Amino acid sequence: MIETLIYFHSLLRWLVLFALLLAIYRAFRGWSVKKSVFSKTDNAIRHWTATIAHVQLVVGITLYTQSPVIRWFWGNFSEAVKNPDTLFFGLIHSLLMVTAVVVLTIGSALTKRRTTDAEKYRTMLTWFSLALVIILIAVPWPFSPWAARPYTR
């Protein structure tokens, strides 16, 4: 079961990134063309981007609670926070990813409630871009000072 979730999690992360980039692109394009109409396709992309991110969050939280590294982290907190790797994966990564999904959710809800098409595009562009920046900060890049991981395992 856990192996399946890990595989699903790996696929979802790319799906979230693709959906988020597509939503940001559509929002930027719609916002830059002043008379653009916020179409059903734009609304569907907004909705599905948030939905995919929520599924990713649930799978991520499930894996988080099952991880032996995380169990050790919370069982040995005072020792674990001294190690940047365990601090990153035990606390920083998860908090930033939850924050990114919250930002994305707020942006999706606000976009849905805007009255004009230009406001919808601008709101989606702003909030989804902020969520993307937070996600990119939370990734354990090979050059990260917090937790370096290779691009492929």
For the chain, the first-to-last Cα distance in angstroms comes to 20
Q: Are 93 and 77 in contact (CB under 8 A)?
A: no
CA neighbor of 2 nearest in space, from 60, 47, 88: 60
Give the model confidence (pLDDT) of 85-113 as tens digits.
889 989 999 999 999 999 999 999 999 99
Mean pLDDT of 61-88: 90
> Could you give the CA distance from residue 123 to residue 112 in angstroms, rounded to a whole number?
9
- pLDDT for 153 beyond 70: no
| Predicted local distance difference test score (pLDDT) of residue 151 | 66
> Where does residue 72 fall: left (phi above 0), alpha (psi -120 to 50 degrees), or beta otherwise?
alpha
**64-85: average pLDDT:** 90
Whole-model pTM: value is: 0.90
Helices 117-138, 93-113: axis angle to 10 degrees equals 180
**Helical segments of 67-153, H only:** 68-75, 77-80, 84-87, 93-113, 117-138
Q: What are phi and psi of 109, to 5 degrees?
A: -65, -45
The mean pLDDT of the chain is: 92
16, 56 Cβ separation under 8 angstroms: yes
pLDDT band (50, 70, 90) for residue 12: very high
